Amino acid sequence: MGAPLADKIRPLTLDDVVGQEHLLGKEKVLRRMVETGNIPNLIFYGPSGVGKTTVASIIAKQAGKKLYKLNGTTASTADIKDVVGQLDTFDGMGGVLLYLDEIQYLNKKQQQTLLEFIENGSITLIASTTENPYFYVYNAILSRSTVFEFRPVSPQEIKKAVERAFRIAGESLQQPLEIEDGVQEHIAYACGGDVRKAVNAVEMLSLAAVDAKVTLEEAKQVAQKSAMRYDRDGDVHYDILSAFQKAVRGSDENAALHYLARLLEAGDLISPCRRMLVMASEDVGLAYPMAAAIVKACVDSAFQLGLPEAQIPLAQAVILMCTSPKSNSAVLAIDAAMADVKNGVTGEIPPYLRDGHYSGAQKMGHAIGYKYAHDYPNHYVQQQYLPDPLKDKKYYHFGENKTEQAAKAYWEKIKGENL
């Protein structure tokens, strides 16, 4: 079939690009920018296979400048200097446009080499990256560039590319392909928003077609698990964990189970377990204190069982937390206490609270006058426990849930004061 199918169907105009309507739709900023012909320094950020390279190539062709391409995985400082050197040639008189793919792989020194020429406008940079540029791209380059985020393409849009890919594949084979019902839809949904992955699946199915027939079973074999977009060290990992905790906090058990399933399907058992142990105290907290013990038991069971059985106790823990009453009173309390300590608001520990279990403690006035709470009715006695500068400080405020309100009523009766 010659060139890869993905290259054969690569769009030549912005109108042909599938997805990214939020960037390329009529009257959107990026599209208007391209149509004016005044191209600033651009950084395209997003997952693989969603059109970053395609859009950059289309823009580069319309820029009217000498185009050079580098890839951050292989480019050296010498390669960058070679591009800069073209500014003194006849071809570079009108300016140079550098398309730099995977800019995150360039080290700081390599990025700094570009900086002077980007700053004075001699070189226009269009860079793409699958990693968050605010973490991986030199700040001076970021400040001179406009970042546009590319999103995974919807299945509906990908289906258009799949249909076109099958048509072109059939033309290359010089016979139309007979596509079983459901094949195109399955590929569109299974590729996880990655157009390139979908087109590659089409190419594999076309090459392997028997009597020019493509079946749904074959499509399932080729596209299996390709919908998972996950990197344990990347943004997707933290985005899923963030959504997971926010779903539990928001008492949406269905969403929480979905995000848990995505983590487990990727083979990640440790991350959700660690996050669940935090959630039990951070988000359920004192509204249902037993949640911490139950979640811990479920996490322990998960590690003993391993995947796939681990999903069962973890699902139990997630549903329990989602359907439990919520309280963040413990979080607010410790945050307030930590703030005082970090700001130096501490003071001396009252002498009667200090350790008295050593020779000479009483001579120093330590532990003298301490009231042992268990010697008093209801195991309580009024006594100052905080240092003097904080003696009236209240860090903890009872939550409105049933459990904390019951505790509040009990202590108001014992202490004889409003809490």
- Fold match, 20-149 / 235-323: no
Tell me how crowded residue 40 is: count the other CB atoms within 10 A of its CB.
12
Tokens for 307, please give them: 């995947």
263/257 Cα distance (integer angstroms): 10
Tell me how crowded residue 89 is: count the other CB atoms within 10 A of its CB.
10
> According to CATH, what is the number of the domain 155-223?
1.10.8.60
The partner residues of 71 in beta bridges, in order of sequence, read 101
Residue 297 sits at the vertex; the CA angle it makes with 296 and 303, to the nearest 5 degrees, is: 90
DSSP line for 355-398: ---STTTGGGTTTTT---GGGSGGG------S-GGGTT------
337/390 Cα distance (integer angstroms): 10
What CATH class has 235-323? mainly alpha
Nearest to residue 226, comparing CAs of 54, 3, 55, 47? 47
Cβ distance 10 to 56 under 8 Å? no
Tell me the three state secondary structure of residue 157.
helix
Q: What is the pLDDT of residues 300-328, one digit of tens each?
A: 999 999 889 999 999 999 999 999 999 99
What is the structure's pLDDT at 1? Answer: 45
Domain locations along the chain: 20-149, 155-223, 235-323, 329-415
Nearest to residue 279, comparing CAs of 302, 305, 304, 253? 253
106/72 Cα distance (integer angstroms): 5
Residues of the chain predicted below pLDDT 70: 1-3, 88, 90-95, 224-235, 359, 361
Cβ distance 60 to 90 under 8 Å? no
User: Phi and psi of 22, rounded to 5°?
Assistant: -70, -15
Q: What percent of the chain shows pLDDT beyond 90?
A: 36
Nearest to residue 247, comparing CAs of 312, 319, 198, 304? 319
Cis bond upstream, residue 308 (ω within 30): yes
What is the structure's pLDDT at 417? Answer: 82
Tokens for 48, please give them: 């693989």
Q: Domain 20-149 in CATH: superfamily? A: P-loop containing nucleotide triphosphate hydrolases (3.40.50.300)
User: Phi and psi of 400, rounded to 5°?
Assistant: -85, 0
> What mean pLDDT value characterizes the chain?
86
Model pTM score:
0.63
What is the structure's pLDDT at 253? Answer: 96
129/73 Cα distance (integer angstroms): 11
153/233 Cα distance (integer angstroms): 22
> According to CATH, what is the number of the domain 329-415?
1.10.3710.10
34/53 Cα distance (integer angstroms): 15
Tokens for 254, please give them: 């269905």
DSSP line for 333-349: HHHHHHHHHHTT---PP
What is the structure's pLDDT at 42? Answer: 92
